[in-house]
């Protein structure tokens, strides 16, 4: 689409990328994920190891984002680094994140901080994680300590990345075989931690954790609101564009399965972070697979950037809060398809704005190719290519493409 045909973005619109601490920093040795990656048996294809070495190279990452023309940088702070043992908070680690925030402001990037992006301290997992009611209070204590040191520099924040993630992943881990594999890995982690149990957020059952997660979200939000700083606190959700097909389709049931109580929780959030990658079609019998000739991404799901429009509209209709696109992207080794995905997703944002829906950002996942959890390093989502041996960062054509759009200020 030519720049002339684009429309000016709303005043204050945020352009940028998202990245998480564990997936990029590397050597997050005090976290539950690190332990699960390195025990046997494990569900992880490979361990995270050094990841992108962003723990040491964060200044380069901030510089790249700013030089590309973005005005927002979404990243996570790692609880396991900040509170490596219960009640022992590292001032040095908090000050390191403070330097990241200062660098963002110095380069014209508004920092959007995720307080939990799936990982928790090893000690927290060993005591039951969010399967124990007290887990909410411990997370809120962490949020209070982090905000006290960092809050005056935070522009936007969220409690949990994809608060409903367990509901999504549970659909892919059905059956005795999958559950046995999870149990075996967690048993090995518990043994390594010298504990009778080990509760890792990505693998814990929805029914034993969700009430505590909801409580933790509310308590952590209150802790962040206590200051210092005065920043919006949002709720980010994994949102698939669920499309009903034919008569008597089961779309509403699938929506309830995916979101549970979080649609109600979202009504009190300062904003909703929409995180969308593809669509799910469902008829009266169940899920409908993509057409045989459908283009598929390297992550194994349908190439369908139009899905972002569907989820923005859904979030607006069901929760009525300001909408921030906090993640949207594609895993591919063909960067021309990444550019096509970005253009398709932005077209949906443009349509939603035209219909009066308050959309305030487009943050691409992710800035860098990085560690993709149990799938390891095989899938590349980044605008910036990572050489995992040398840590050389090389912006792809898609990075310059999105950066040019951001600099133009037009959608």
Task: Inform me whether the pLDDT recorded for 241 exceeds 60.
Answer: yes
Rounded Cα distance, 317 and 340, in Å? 28
Mean pLDDT, the chain, whole residue set: 97
Domain range summary for the chain, segments of one domain joined by +: 3-408
Q: Count of residues for the chain?
A: 411
Global pTM value:
0.97
| Residue 2 pLDDT greater than 60, yes or no | no
Cis-peptide into 301, omega within 30 deg:
no
* Of residues 1 and 13, more confidently modeled: 13
Name the burial class of residue 293, with classes exposed (0-12), middle (13-18) and buried (19+) by CB atoms within 10 angstroms of its CB.
Answer: exposed
- Residue 194 has what pLDDT? 97
What's the confidence (pLDDT) of residue 1? 60
Q: Does residue 278 surpass a pLDDT of 80?
A: yes
d(CA 8, CA 3): 10
pLDDT range class, residue 212, cuts 50, 70, 90:
very high
| 316, burial (CB in 10 Å: exposed 0-12, middle 13-18, buried 19+) | buried
Compute the distance between CA of residue 333 and CA of residue 223 in angstroms, rounded to an integer. 42
Locate tokens 């594609």: which residue? 330
* pLDDT 10s digits, 397-411: 999 999 999 999 999
* Confidence label for 85 from pLDDT (cuts 50, 70 and 90): very high
Predicted local distance difference test score (pLDDT) of residue 175: 75
CA distances from 70 to 267, 287, 343, 344 (A): 29, 38, 16, 19
Has domain 3-408 been given CATH number 1.20.1250.20? no
For residue 4, pLDDT over 70 is answered with: no
Q: Is the model's pLDDT at 172 over the cut of 80?
A: no
Supply 314's token pair.
Answer: 């859904």
Q: What's the Cα-to-Cα distance from 324 to each of 13, 202, 237, 298, 346, rounded to whole Å?
A: 9, 24, 11, 26, 13
């Amino acid at each position: 689409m030519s720049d002339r045909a684009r429309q000016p973005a709303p005043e204050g619109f945020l352009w940028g990328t998202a990245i998480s601490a564990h997936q990029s920093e590397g050597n997050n040795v005090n976290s539950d994920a690190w332990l699960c990656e390195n025990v046997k048996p494990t569900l992880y294809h490979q361990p995270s190891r050094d990841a992108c070495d962003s723990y040491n190279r964060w200044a380069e990452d901030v510089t790249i984002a700013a030089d590309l023309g973005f005005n927002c940088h979404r990243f996570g702070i790692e609880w396991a680094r900040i509170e490596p043992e219960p009640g022992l908070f590292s001032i040095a680690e908090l000050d390191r994140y403070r330097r990241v925030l200062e660098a963002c402001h110095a380069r014209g990037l508004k920092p959007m901080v995720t307080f939990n992006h799936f990982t928790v301290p090893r000690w927290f997992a060993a005591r039951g994680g969010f399967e124990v009611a007290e887990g909410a209070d411990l997370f809120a204590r962490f949020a209070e300590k982090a905000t006290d040191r960092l809050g005056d520099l935070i522009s936007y924040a969220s409690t949990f990345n994809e608060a409903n993630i367990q509901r999504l992943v549970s659909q892919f881990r059905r059956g005795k075989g999958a559950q046995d594999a999870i149990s075996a890995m967690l048993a090995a982690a518990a043994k390594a931690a010298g504990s009778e149990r080990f509760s890792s957020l990505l693998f814990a059952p929805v029914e034993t954790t969700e009430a505590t997660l909801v409580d933790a979200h509310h308590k952590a939000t209150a802790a962040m609101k206590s200051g210092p700083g005065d920043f919006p606190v949002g709720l980010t959700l994994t949102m698939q564009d669920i499309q009903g097909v034919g008569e008597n389709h089961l779309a509403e049931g699938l929506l309830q399965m995916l979101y549970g109580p979080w649609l109600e929780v979202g009504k009190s959030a300062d904003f909703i972070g929409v995180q969308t990658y593809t669509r799910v079609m469902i008829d009266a019998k169940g899920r409908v697979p993509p057409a045989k000739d459908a283009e598929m991404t390297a992550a194994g799901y349908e190439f369908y950037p139009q899905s972002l429009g569907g989820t923005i509209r859904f979030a607006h209709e069901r929760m009525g809060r300001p909408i921030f696109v906090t993640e949207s992207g594609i895993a591919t080794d063909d960067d021309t398809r990444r550019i096509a995905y970005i253009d398709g997703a932005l077209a949906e944002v443009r349509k939603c704005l035209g219909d009066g829906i308050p959309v305030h950002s487009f943050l691409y996942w992710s800035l860098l190719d990085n560690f993709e959890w149990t799938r390891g390093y095989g899938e590349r989502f980044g605008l910036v290519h990572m050489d995992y041996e040398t840590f050389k960062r090389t912006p792809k054509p898609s990075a310059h493409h999105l950066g040019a759009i951001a600099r133009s200020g037009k959608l």
